[in-house]
Amino acid sequence: MIRNKTLLSIVSLLLLGIISLSVYTVYETDKAILVRLGELVLSKDKKPKVLNPGLHFKIPFIDEVRCFDTRLNMLDIKSSRIFTVEQKYVLVDFFVQWRIEDLALFYTRTNGRKANAEALLEQKVVSGLRAEFGRRTIREVVSGGRVELTETLRKTTDENAEHLGISVADVRVKRIDLPDEVSGSVYDRMRSQKSWRGKRSPYFVGRSAKGI
């Protein structure tokens, strides 16, 4: 009798253990995919099966659950060195807002690692900045066209990130710093242009008055 009770207890514990290993929860902010023996589990339509928030089941010791946060992420990058059309560099601080759009693609292209995705995103944004700044002078970069520049960057980065399973919501340049050796020459040029215009103004006023 005691032996039967002991055996029943062992069986019950084993069943509870198997059930606990079979049941898992996907939280509200996440979505998940199943990896079975190294391969993505497919749905009936032969596409990778995506699991929405809720309670789910898996095969213990065979299935691996990979959960991903599908909320908006923020990538903040400081002091990237970017050259302008004059081959003078500026230091650019920017941020990227992105989210996972295609879980299976994200998993296969980045090994499911956020750090890998952000490293690739940073490369793509810096590449876009180099292309855009390479068409502009330092004065154009500092003084205006920031909205047009950031929207162009967002579109370009979003298109380039599609193969990573990522969508880019925003790319924003926060600050542009001029190195000391560059800022001195830029400010000197701006002062000289201002001084030159100031010297010309009385001349043109005099000519206009004389012509009248």
pLDDT the model gives residue 197: 47
Looking at 5-14, 59-68, 103-112, 179-188, which range is the least confident one? 179-188
User: What is the separation, in whole angstroms, between the first and last Cα of the chain?
Assistant: 124
pTM value is: 0.75
Q: Between 74 and 1, whose confidence is greater?
A: 74
What's the whole-number mean pLDDT along residues 157-182?
88
Q: Answer whether residue 21 shows pLDDT above 50.
A: yes
Q: Which residues have a Cβ under 8 Å from the Cβ of 150 and sit 6 or more positions away?
A: 170, 171, 172, 173
Quick one: pLDDT at residue 209? 31
Domains for the chain: give ranges and CATH numbers.
Answer: 2-69 (no CATH), 73-185 (3.30.479.30)
| 138 burial type by CB count under 10 A (0-12 exposed, 13-18 middle, 19+ buried) | buried
Q: Which residues contact 40 (CB under 8 A, 6 or more apart)?
A: 33, 34, 48, 49, 104, 107, 108
pLDDT at 80 over 60: yes
HEC-encoded secondary structure of 173-209: EEEEECCHHHHHHHHHHHHHHHHHHHHHHHHHHHHHH
- What was the pLDDT predicted at 142? 77
Higher pLDDT, 208 or 9: 9
The contacts of residue 161 (CB under 8 Å, 6+ apart) are: 98, 120, 121, 124, 167, 168
Indicate the pLDDT class of residue 1, thresholds 50, 70 and 90. Answer: low
208: confidence class by pLDDT, cuts 50, 70, 90? very low
In this structure, what are the phi and psi dihedrals at residue 115, rounded to the nearest 5 degrees? -60, -40
Comparing C-alpha atoms, which of 90, 40, 44 is closest to residue 64? 40
Dist. CA 124–CA 127, nearest whole Å: 5
**Would you say how long the chain is, in residues?**
212
Residue range 97-126, pLDDT digits in tens = 999 999 999 999 999 999 999 999 999 999
d(CA 66, CA 165): 15
The answer to whether residues 27 and 69 touch, using CB atoms and an 8 Å cutoff, is no
